[in-house]
Structures are given as C-alpha cells and as structure tokens.
Chains A and B, each alone.
Chain A
Amino acid sequence: MKYNRYICLLSLALLAASCETEITIDLDDKDPILVINSSIESDGGVHRIYVGESQDADYHEIEADRVSVSVNGASVAVTPIKDEYSYYSSEGITTRYRTSYGFEAAFKAGDVVRIEVDKAGAPSAVAECTVPKVPVIASVDTSRTWKAVDDEYERLSADYDFEISPLLRDIKGEDSYYRMSLDVRYDIRAYREDGSYDDMESVSRGLTYDISREPILNGGRSSSSEDDISLSDLFSVDNIFCLFTDEQFRDGEYKLRLSVPSYMFLSLPYFRFEDDYVNFDYKASAIVKVYSLSFLRYYYLRALENMDTWGTETSFLIEPTTLPSNVEGGMGFAAVDAVATFEIKDVQKGSFTLVYTDDELTGE
C-alpha cells in the first residue's frame, strides 16, 4: 500500500523508542483438573456429557474412569458414546473417535441433577444444577408478509416472511432468564420412479430468524433504514441464542415478534437419500421453543455469544468475558434448561424433483 513507507518510518521510530519484554505468567495450572460440559434440555431424550482435562495451558478431551449421574439422588445409567470424526493433517486424513457419555432422563422443575467424574491423576469433579421452572407459551400468532425480492440478476419476484409471535407468560415471583429457538420438523415423502415411496422425518434445529423488530432480543438496535445504520451495530455482539430476561414484563406476559424468511423452510436438513428417489413432497412445521435458564446459565450463554463474535481467546480490544462454571473441583458448565414447545404445523409445503446432469452423476 502506498502509505507503507510512512507507516514503516513511524513504526521504526516507535520501535527505536520502545522495548518489549516478555514475562511468563505462572498460571498454577501444572496439575490437571477435569472439565465437565453438558447442555441438557428438560424434555427427555439422550443427553450428553463431555469430559476433558485442563493442564499446562491446554485443554484436551479424555475418557474418564467414571462418570455417574443422579437425579434427586437416584442414579441414572450412563453409557459411553464413541463418535467418529476425521481431520486433515500433513499425513493425510486421520480418523479418530471422540467419547462422550450419554444418559436418558426427563426432568421436572426443582429436580437436582448431579454429575460426578473421576479420572486418575486429577481431583474428582462434580457439577450440580437445579432444573428451573418451565415457562408457558400461552399462544402463538402467525402471519405472512409478502414482499418483492430482487435477485442477483435484478429480476423481481415475490416472497414472504413468516411472522411468528409467541405470547410468553412469565414465571412468577422470581427473576427469570430465557432463551428462544426455532426448530423445523420436515415430514418428507420420497417417491421412486415406480411410484413407491418412503416417509421420513427430520428436525433442523436452531433456525435463523430475524429479531430486528423485537427490541427485547435485539437490544433496541434500529433497523429502520439501511442507509442510517448505527456505527456500533457493525461491531456488536449478536444475540445468536436469543437470550432475554423478564425485566420488562416481570410477572406478566410478553408477545415476541419474530420473522422467518420463507426460504429458510426450504433449507432441508441432510438426508441420506437413496439413489432411486426422484420426487419429494415435504411439509415443514415450525417448533417454537422457549427455555427457562438459571442465572449462571444465562450469563454462560452470554459469554458464548461474546466468544462467537470475538473468538475464544482474550484480546486487549475487547472487555474480557467472565466465564461461569458450576463444576466443583474442576471447570465447565452443566445445565438443564427447562423447555416449553409450541408447534405450528405445515407452515410450508411443496414438492421438488431431483434432476442430475451427467457430470454430477459421474462426479466429474
């Protein structure tokens, strides 16, 4: 760049006048400690626990000697689960296995979940959390807003935004912390050329939706004009988990206003289609989920939002994020989020046909 010579001169002048020394900081992390992580939803299914070890400025996953889970003091069966994963290195593709620990349970408010992990050479670690009260989604209003869309070839077409407005009833008598997410369940009927078909179902989790009109989720940031954007919005932390508190509707009700572009419902999840399917019919149902969180869990997710925006390592340009932990004798975070769901059936349905070119079929 043309400023280079001036910048170099200035840098040289600064270097000549400055001196950098390095001091190694004794972190007192020579001894290993265990890290437990688990993100559990209260509505059943298989829940996973991830165990690792922190030592010498490093974190690595481990297989524990013992992982036990109890709910209100009663033991729950825990099964190791091995997941295969591959990565590229100078030696080519390497396949490895990652171990996590699964257990099945459904929870109710007030349940105390305790996870204990042992590993030789490290102190035992115990994570304990209490299931929060389940929030109430009183109703969900929906509507469609049609709009003109200008595609990349400047051809106008019409599309719609799917408006979703869940009415949330606050948990009374306490400070409440919430998270919202939107899943889509696809019911797909796949036809073969001979007319036979299979029915399949898949859920796509964490759909992206527009929160720009919902001040409780967007922090009041304006989206009124594209030409008048707040400078700082360019450098803000996005509320990717849609976290919010009941500060503005304590012990009352609040109607959230969200909008989902229709094309989001076309982002079908990964299917292992058999080769002989040719036509598909699908129906997409939106599943609104509102989670009630503990105070620490709320700020843990806030910390993750910061990390998602700025990276997981500290920077002198960013106010550092304090990371909560509820693991005694170790680190990490285990939480049960109490979830309320509301399904909106068949928000979109349609058909499509797979058409391959010769090149695609031969993989060239």
Chain B
Amino acid sequence: MGIAAYGQGRQGITVSGYVTDSATGETLIGAGVLTPDGTGAVTNNYGYYSLTIPRGRTELRYCFVGYGDVVTETTFSRDTVIHVVLQPSEELEAATVVAQKDAGIHSTYLGAIDVPVKQIQFTPVIFGESDVLKSLQMLPGVQGGNEGFTGLYVRGGGPDENLIMLDGVPIYNVDHLMGLFSVFQTEAVKKVTLYKGSFPARYSGRVSSIVDIRTNDGNMKETSGSATLGVVTDKFHIEGPILKDRLSYSFSARGMHTAVFDPLIRMAMPKDQYVNYYFYDLNGKLSWRLSDNDRFFLGFYSGADKFRLKYKEDSSGTGMIEDQPYTYSSFERDDMGIRWGNDVVSLRWNHIFSPRLFANSTVSWNRYRMSMTTVSHERGHNAYEQYDYRYDVGYHSGIRDWSAKIDFDFVPTPRHLVKFGAQYIYHTFRPETLTAITDETSNGENNQNTFKFKARDDYYGHDISVYGEDDFTVGERLTVNPGVNISLFATEGKLYPAIQPRLSAKYVFDRGFSAKAGYARMAQYVHLLSASQISLPVDLWVPITKNIRPVTSDQFSVGAYYSGLKDWEFSLEAYWKEIDNILEYKDGTLMFASSGNWEDKVEMGQARARGIEFMAQKTAGRLTGWLAYTLAKSDRRFPDGSINLGKTFPYKYDRRHSLNLSLNYALTRRLEFNAAWVFSTGGTVTIPVRKTAVLYPDSDYPVSADYIVNRNNYRLPSTHHLDLGLLMKFPHRNGTEGLLNLTVYNAYNHRNPNFCYFEFEYDYDKSGNLKERRLVMHKISILPILPSLSYTLNF
C-alpha cells in the first residue's frame, strides 16, 4: 500500500511489462527500453522492465541484440503495462546502448560480462561439445586449471571460490568426466553472466566470481527443439506450449553415447558381465503465466557420472596333490558401481506488486552426492578348503541444501533502480563414510566383521543473508551503485556475521569514453577439499567450522572503456584483490581422503592477486568475437609457518600472461567460421632443487632427501592451442534446419601438458656404474589434435 501511495504522488507515470521473443514467447533478459531523451530501463533476469517517464506523449524504443527494434509512440496519462514482442533480425546489428544494465561495459559494475550464448554454442572446443565454462575461460581474468579441463580460476581465486548458479540455485559439482565437460547444456541456456569485480549486492557466498546461468522458460507459441548427434554425446531438446501463451515446457537431455546405447551394451556383453561409463544431464522447466502479474516456474536439473563393472567367472577342474587327485570349483562375482552428480529442483514465482515493484521468490532443493559400492562374492572348494567369502564395501559423501529467497526490483524514480531481498540456505554436509562388511566362511567356520571409517557425523549450516543496492544516476554522466549484503552463518554453535559493502561508480565522458571504479567485500562459508588438480568424485564440500573462519575478500578495481566505434567495445580494467582466511593443505598432506580432521590438514592464510585486463569485443556484424589479454600475479602466504615456512609463494595457477582470441565470422547466411586461440603462461609446481641429507633426532647418520626450498618454485611451459570450427546450416523444406558443425581442437597439435610429474632418474653404463643422474619432468599430453563432427536438427 505504501508503495502504491508513493507512486500515485509522483509527477511521472510508470510503463512496465515483459519483453518477449515473437517466435517463442521466451522472455528476453537485458532488453532495453529507451525514451528519446535517453532515459531508459533494461529487462531483468525474468524479462520484466519498469520505466518511469513524464506524463504525455512519448516515444519508446525497445531493442535487443539480434532483434529488430520496436518503436511505440503513445500518450501516457497513467501507469501503463506494455508487453512487447521483438522479432529476431537477420541483420546482426548491435542493440541500442542502454544504461542500468546488469553487465557489460554500459553497466555500473566492473568486471561484469554477458557471454553471448551463440558464442558459447559455436566456440570450437574439445570433441565439439559446446561448453559454458570453457567459454568463460576465454574471458580476461579467467583461466582454466589443467589444460583442456573446465576449472575456473578467476582473478587469482580457486575453483571453489566461484558461485555457479543455475536459475539462481548453486550447483556444487559442475563437471563431468573429471572436468573435461561441464554439466550445463547450452541448448537449455538463455543467458550467462560472469561477475568478477564489483559484485552486485544481491550476490554473496563466494569470493572470486559469480556465474549466473539462466535457462529457457519454454516456447509459448509452438513446439520446437533440436536433436544433436556428436562425437561423445547425443543431445535432445524440446520445448513448446501446453496451453498456448499460458503454460509451456522445456526439456533437454544430454548423454554420452554409452548412456544412450546402454541397453545395447548390456545385450552385447556376456550374461552377468557388464562394464560401462557415462554421464548424463537432464534439464526441465514448466512455465505458467497465471496472469499479467503472476508467473510460476518449476524447474529441475539432474545429472551424474556413472561407472559400473560387473564380472562373473566360474571354473572347475581336477588337480593332483601328493599323487592324490582332487577336484576344485570356484565361483566369483563382483559388482562395482560409482555414481556422483547433482539433483536440483526449484520453484519460482514472479509477482508484480505494482508497475514499480517486481518480486521473484524461489524455493529450491539441491544435492550433490557421491557413492561407490563394491560387492564381491567368492565361493568354491579345493583340496584344502570349502569357502564362501562375501565382501560389501560402500563409500558415500555429499551435500544437501534447502533454500528460500526473495528478490525485489523497485524503480522509485527513473534515476533509481533499487534491488533488495533476503535468502536462507540450510546446508547438510555429509562427510566421507566408508563401510566394509566381510562375511567369510571357511570349512564351516564363519567370521563376520564390519568396519566403519567415518570422517564424522552429518553436520549442518544455516546461511542467512539480506541485501540492498541502488543503482542511481547523478546528473547526466555519473551512475553510482552502493549496496550492502549482510550475512550470517551458523554452524556448530558458532555464529559468523559478515557485512559486505559494495560500491560501483561509472562516469561517462564524451565520444564514447567512460570510466568506472569499484570496491567489493565478499564472504564465503564453504570450501572444496580437492584431491588433485582435476575434478574428482572424492572432492568434498565442507563448511567453515568453529575453528576455520569464513574466507573474505576485498577487491578494488578501476576501468576505462570505449564504445565510440560502431559495433566495437574496448575495456581496460585493473584490480587488486586480497583474500583472508584462504585455505591450503599443509606441507606433507596427502591429498586424498582428506575430510576427516580436515581442519588439522589445512592452514588459513592470505592471498593477493592483482592484474590488468584488456578486452576488445566486436559485438555485431558478420564478424563477432573478442580479444582478451590478462597480465596477472597471484601469490599466497601462510604466516603460521606450516606452509612454506611462512614465506610468500606463487599460487599454483599464477599465470603471468594470458591471451585469448575468439572469433565468429558469418561467411554466408548458411556458413559460419569459428576460431579460438588460447595462450597462457604455464602454472607453477614444486620441484626439488637438489639432493640433500636430513638427520633425525637420536639418529646416527643422515639420510638422503629431496631439497625443496620453496613451494611452487618451478614454472611449467606455456600452453597454447588453436581451435577451429565450421558451421553449415541446411534449411529443409519442411521448416526444419540441419546444422553440421565441424571442429578441430588443437589444430596445430601442440603438446600441452595436461599432467606433469617429476622424478630423479639414473642412467647406468653397461658395467652397471652410475653414469648420470638428473631430474626429469614427465609431461603428459592427453589432448592432441582432435577433429570432431556433430549434426544438429533444429525443428
């Protein structure tokens, strides 16, 4: 009521509504609405806009990249709802620039980038599998971990410092096949936004980046979809109306060929024997437009990696012992299975309280779980024994969240966009548990044992946060966005509050130049205990504890931008980031089975990252893409001394230079050429610098040992590769369209190191005398030149 009275008392009126695609009815995120005097608004993550303008006759221009503009001229005497439908355009012109965007160089935020989904879909990558996370690795300030894998290392941060959200719900396990593929199906994705600098106040929970992935709501007009046959996976996507313009569905499925043809594999294998590995992803959504003011969305995601091995062997025969014949028989059966993956369900409600107040409420449930089971059975007899052995081993871990949140967009005046809201997450962490049951019978004697190795009981975390931010314009040139996120994490009887102020400011100069500055404090309450440099199922999420404090980061950034050249955008940003209470394994820690007493195995320290990022982006026309260069430095220090004796050392992924070029060129309407070239300075590893000797207390002689003087003291060779793609479109008479996508990963077959290990090697002459000793790095490259072909049928 208060809001309504406020609105009625103003001079202006408010125009609001949804902007949608004419062909599908899909809401368009980031579409602009502009008045002739330059006042504007942008549709939010749900396609809704709200613009307050003076009463009277006004022209409104609606625009979105890849769509034709729609211009309306109306006399406005009171608050008005206008839902606008935009037509996809054949001409790839850039959309008219609109201020108050959530990302991009025209937004107030620094380090916020919208990645065009088209660019993601056709960027050539390994096996031709379009991949959201690998496309993000092409952006300035973002690096991959191991070459060819999906890990994200943003501005000196680790992979667990990225909050990756699918329709606003955090996803914990974002990889398949140890990180070669991400879990996100590009067919289901509508928008991908990366925040790495001055974070909007509505985001919290990680200290290095936010990746906000929004999925399609579903075609409200007609049934459409696609089917893709690739080298590794098969994909199917379908969406359409259940009730035209009221209720729609969207469903996407992806699976390895071994998943799709699993029944055939079972048929081909001998009876009681089976081996298969596959991963799959299922995305679905129901969208219901109940009224102009209420929309509901029920979405789910389920994805997993699965490995199963069943084996059976029977044997029998006769033998001789001390000239006495005997018979034997044996029966063996083994069944091993590993499964790890996410399941997410979310229910969202968009409600328009008034033309100026929009609300999105979400309740969600998500879980990540990993389980490994082995059942083994041996039975038989021989000359000595009649036996029956059964073994049952299980290993389980996981995390489960229940969450509820509400977000409001409020436009009190044309110069203000206020966002505020609250969130509550209830975490249940399930640490590693290993149970082993043995049941052994030998010659009638039975022996049963149960072993249970448990990291600890389930434990819980309550994560509460409220936020508010106001993106407002001062005069004609200055936009300021102050905000704050206040969070509270409760676990093990201890409360950790965190006040996270955010501030961004943008000043627009003449001739397309602008400058920004920003500060953001972030807090993080969960950690990923990672066993290695690649994503493995035994990696484990754990919360902060009464002894381990939250990670906090303070980041200052400044940027200069130029958009005065048609279809081009240039940005130059510099940042300084300090992270407190960052965790690292102590010297000598085994990186497996790390969850039990994990607090003893890690140390809290400080990280420092600074860098300069340049990006030149061609946003429209036949040639689109970007060139990104990053100069960065990142190091760590753990003052207590248990890591590197308290001395500062470079981060494992401290890469000084990164250069990424991503191009998409439309040769004709039916032929597109894609290329991506990636160069990066090598990361760092620890190697011994000499052989030395150590002396144990009370010992009578020293023993030879490797001498390591500093952690991460050796820089690996640089990595680079060129990936090419050719996309051919074949329109069919029945209205469908075929897409043939030919990609070549690592076109000039550069042997980039995917894994490295070191060892001292010794050469001997023919007489066996030691000739030479040396330290050798074994560089394993598993990703040579990889041509691939995929065919997609759009219907």
Contact = CB atoms under 8 A, between A and B. Distances in A.
20 contacts: A14-B782, A22-B777, A23-B776, A24-B777, A25-B775, A29-B689, A29-B691, A50-B701, A57-B774, A219-B600, A227-B451, A231-B455, A231-B593, A232-B597, A304-B694, A307-B694, A319-B587, A320-B711, A322-B644, A323-B705
Interface of B: 275, 309, 311, 313, 332, 334, 432-434, 450-456, 585-601, 641-645, 686-711, 714, 717, 751, 754, 756-760, 772-782, 784
A59 B596 contact: no
A324 B592 contact: no
B690 A230 contact: no
Contacts of A280: none
B698 A24 contact: no
A19 B780 contact: yes
Contact of B711 (A3, A6, A322): A322
A10 to B, nearest CB: 9
A203 to B, nearest CB: 11
Contacts of A24: 774-777
A39 B692 contact: no
Interface stretch (A128-136, A191-199, A233-241): A233-241
Contacts of A18: 754, 780-782
A172 interface: no
A57 B772 CA distance: 9
Interface stretch (A107-115, A269-277, A294-302, A356-364): A294-302
Give chain A's interface residue range (CB within 8 Å of chain B).
Answer: 35 or more
* Interface SS, A side: mixed
A309 to B, nearest CB: 7
A321 B433 CA distance: 28
Interface string A280-307: 0000000000000001101111111111
Interface in A197-250: 205-206, 219-221, 227-237, 241
Contacts of B699: 39
A276 B705 CA distance: 45
B593 A322 contact: no
Given A57-B690, A314-B708, A37 B596 contact: no
Contacts, number: 255
Contact of A235 (B590, B778, B784): B590
Given A232-B601, A332-B693, A20 B778 contact: yes
B777 A25 contact: yes
Contacts of A322: 587, 643-645, 708-711
Contacts of B275: 6
B697 A301 contact: yes
Question: Which of A3, A316, A318 has the largest number of chain B CB atoms within 10 A?
Answer: A316
B434 A231 contact: yes
Given A58-B773, A322-B645, A232 B594 contact: yes
Contacts of A86: none
Contact of A234 (B585, B593, B757, B781): B593
A54 B776 contact: no
A104 B697 CA distance: 17
A349 interface: no
A267 to B, nearest CB: 15
List the 6 closest A-B pairs by CB distance, nearest first: A306-B588, A230-B596, A232-B596, A312-B705, A57-B773, A37-B695
A220 B593 contact: no
A56 interface: yes
Given A35-B692, A313-B760, A22 B778 contact: yes
A17 B782 contact: yes
Contacts of A305: 588
Contact of B591 (A37, A233, A314, A317): A317
B309 A3 contact: yes
Contacts of A98: 701
A333 B645 contact: no
A16 B696 CA distance: 45
A38 interface: yes
B783 to A, nearest CB: 8
Contacts of B453: 229-231, 234
A98 B701 CA distance: 9
A23 B585 CA distance: 28
A230 B588 contact: no
Contacts of B595: 231-232
